[in-house]
Structure 1
Amino acid sequence: MADLLTGLEPPAPPDPSHVAAPLADRLRPRSLVEVIGQEHLTALEGTIGRMVAANRLSSIILWGPPGTGKTTIARLLADAVGLRFAPISAVFSGVADLKKVFAEARDHARLGKRTLLFVDEIHRFNRAQQDGFLPFVEDGTVTLVGATTENPSFELNAALLSRAQVLILHRLGSAALEQLIVRAEAEVGRPLPLDAPARDALIASADGDGRFLLNQVETLFSVDLAAPLDPAGLSAFLQRRVAVYDKDREGHYNLISALHKSIRGSDPNAALYYLARMLTAGEEPLYLLRRLTRAAVEDIGLADPQALQQCLAAKEAYNFLGSPEGELAIAQACIYLATAPKSNAVYSAQKAAWRSAREHGSLMPPAHILGAPTKLMRDLGYGKGYAYDHDAEDAFSGANYWPEGLAPQQYYAPTQRGFEKRIAERLAWWNERRHASTPSRD
């Protein structure tokens, strides 16, 4: 009823279901432009932005870490192009659930309403179940949007991947996570009870996971604190080790970048300093061990194959000894990496090989190196003329292993440093033998 003095309707009471909903749900974006941290996809010039502008959505696989907005983007995509949204989870669904979803999609299609089928954790479906999607994707019964945290190249069928475009979602950076906190503060109506260094530490502890961050924020809002928490107070409150930042407020990602680059630059003392900065601040040791392992394979590789083993051994030692004794093993691995010979030849070779695989599709290997377990396959020439290298002189036949239509490539170019110098000599000897026996291959 309108107010008799003002003639205005009184404000509606708050929706109790909205207030009771988790903060992450209350802050879900209502349009693609509100999605944080994935502008490379959702902006007008991005892949998703162009699909929406054309009102034509193809099947896609959203690949990214947890808490980066995969489910939200799928739901908003359905709204943006006018499709019915049908979500299922591969964790909780089986063949019967899929049949029901496809039957419902066909019924709606007859009424002129197409379906966007969102499959969370799609990589958890086995190969046969993944094949079951194909006819319904091909005939347009559903537009498939799958979400996965695992590499689709390894976890999804090639046939399914060929019918869907893989879109990569980025881990949320510090600026994006700060935006989430600002939105949460506006929703709750008060500032987060943290001082500036603790706020930075909270963002760093989320490690790019927006959903985790909002859950932590909601926990902080759920209690009445007498004063804002500092980093130590935040760590005690959340029962989680949170990196402390000094008066210069250098961020978590700045320090981990400095550690990695000091290792790459062969400065063990600087590397040890940044390692100490992060460990004494309360950084998770396993996070640092993961970064050291990455440096071992990215910046050292086969110049010193023991670098990777040192990192894995440090992880085992830390798990066995715990803190603080186990941190000595982490320091040893750090110094080993910084003083090892450096090579990014494996890293460069991996990138080049992946690029070549994408460009050249699914070329068939040459018949002579294919297995022939059946008579039909033998009749088709599988395995015919295969040269068993152990029977050749020096255990090297020099045979061609490349698909027809793709000339032999060189992805891996070892350096003259460390163990790779010996690898380079071995490869040069093999190449000389190979070219001498098949001069026409050039």
Structure 2
Amino acid sequence: MTQKSYNILLVDDDEVVLQALEVHLADLPHTVISTHSPAKAIGVLGCGDIAVLICDLNMPGIDGNTVLAEARKRNPDIVSIILTGGADQAVMIDAINRGGIWKFIMKPWKRDDLVTSVIEAVERYARLCEPRAQLKEIAEKLSELSQKEEQLQHTTGRQPKRIKKKKAIRLRVVEKEDRPDLQSDRYELQEVLGEGQAGIVYKAQDTLLNMPVAIKVLSPSLSRKEFWEQSLKDEARIAMQLSHRHIVRLHNLQRSGDRMFLVMEHVEGHSFREVIVEYGAFPIDGLPPIAQVFGDAISYAHRHGVIHGDLKPENILLTGDGVLKIIDFGIASLTNAKHSTGLIAGTPAYMSPEQKRGELLDTRTDIYSLGIIIYELLTSRNPFPEDMSTDEVLNSMPGPLVGLPHPVTVVLEKAIAADRDDRWRSAGEFTDALVAVVSSLSHGGINP
């Protein structure tokens, strides 16, 4: 079997370093592109699919951090290696805070160490691309379906049920007289993307940066409480530091008169709710790469001290190019139950028992929610019956998990255990176990 060839981009203003890198990587079955110009490197990133970026940090004119940021914008899956001979401490800190760096290699390097790192980087890129390719196919099919339905609506004048349901709240144009006064000329509110007990989310235009953003205007009951405001500020500082390819970024928390609002990255895409509705039960053998994305993103946030608190299919987006994005990470947690004893916030069918009781939350509440989501993705049904009322859901545990191979059921049951001490210790441990049993089933290693 012929090994696939990937593109590797080398960027260093020192020609001697570039030549040494080229010689050391010459035997690999990949295309190596090198340049001493950061500006040319950005041009290459815009023209080709680069799998691995090896980049110096300290370069004249455009520094390495700018190249790294452009690389992630062009290809969220790119694996970046920083080559440094002892960069300025401030530059290093900036690079770490921006995220997206897989490994640092110090100059001078050992040839074998460099080659091993590049081989591992290519393998990592290939793994990251697996779910993206699969999800991109799903996203394309959903887009085709939407186009067909909109054509049908245009031809017949009738709105298909799916579009009607989807647009009941989403993409509702905001009339000028209905727009909340943010006391700022910077943001122009355009459409309502969603509504909930914590506030209303709008698509908006950032007129200063000329780019779309999402703005969540918090409800007056949250904005006017001094205790909540301080909690919001404290957690926003943490949430704003999250920088992950599969997490929608929080840009800012601002006050406008007696209202507070959050400015977030805007992402166009389909929710996992749409995926479940349109595709029904997701094939179990296609789960591992998606589970790995979930585990990676959620574990990353948890390591940074951020709990989601409202994971559900509606908060997971699939972009047109197949990138999975979790929205409201670090935002739902700003307004969840852990800030006030006895207050319940979340979506009942995905809430952990401790969240329903209004108790202090920890990372295991997200593991519970993820277990429910994955079960629903694989079976196209929630373990709580559709005809069950909100009060009934809040006062009961989910029904039996049926319709899946026993080893998979065992892993999911541990994720949604009533006692959080009985659940998986981390999101990564949960998704690793899930990937292991599904892979064993696929290879005939476990009797279902």
Give the TM-score band, short-chain normalised.
under 0.3
More strand by proportion, 1 or 2?
2
TM (norm. structure 2) is 0.26
More helix by proportion, 1 or 2?
1
TM (norm. structure 1) is 0.27
